[in-house]
Amino acid sequence: MAGKPKTIELDVNGVRYEIDDDDPSGRDVRAAAGLNPASSFVLIHVRDRGSTSVGLDDKLDLKAGKVEIFRAFESDRIFTFTLDERAFEWGADPKLAPLAYERRTLLLELRVVGPVDLPRQKPCIG
């Protein structure tokens, strides 16, 4: 017989929340933090050795007794990069960009110098 789910502590953008589900979906974490509508936010799970984006229906295996760190960005973009052979994913809001990584703080910054000419794509008509 399965026991009662343990209370998991979440830190989303520096604010603490609790959720009574040890395998919540990305949608559940967004709801616990009041991020509505959930589809308007990119959710990043910050781990000891990198960070990964969490989709709305992705299930998370979280551990009680440990505060799970997340960053949320009101965006539809995810930026990926590699540092010291470790993969990171991040959102777009520069105010939330400092990321603690092995006693170092990374400041992720996107700078656009001069005009940017993006290729035009044909609209999808279905």
Q: List pLDDT tens digits, range 47-93.
A: 877 889 999 999 998 888 889 999 998 888 888 877 778 788 888 64
Token pair 């703080």 in the structure block, residue: 105
pTM over 0.85: no
Q: Is pLDDT above 70 for 2?
A: no
Instruction: Report the C-alpha dihedral over residues 93, 96, 97, 99, rounded to 10 degrees.
Output: -150
Q: What domains are there in the chain, each with its CATH number? A: 8-106 (3.10.20)
Q: List pLDDT tens digits, range 17-27.
A: 999 988 899 99
Structure tokens at 39: 């589809």
Average pLDDT, the chain: 78
Token pair 């940017």 in the structure block, residue: 116
> What 3 state SS string does the chain have?
CCCCCCCEEEEECCEEEEECCCCCEHHHHHHHCCCCCHHHEEEEEEECCEEEEECCCCECCCCCCCEEEEEEEECCCCEEEEECCEEEEECCCHHHCCEEECCEEECCCCCCCCCCCCCCCCCCCC
pLDDT at residue number 49: 79
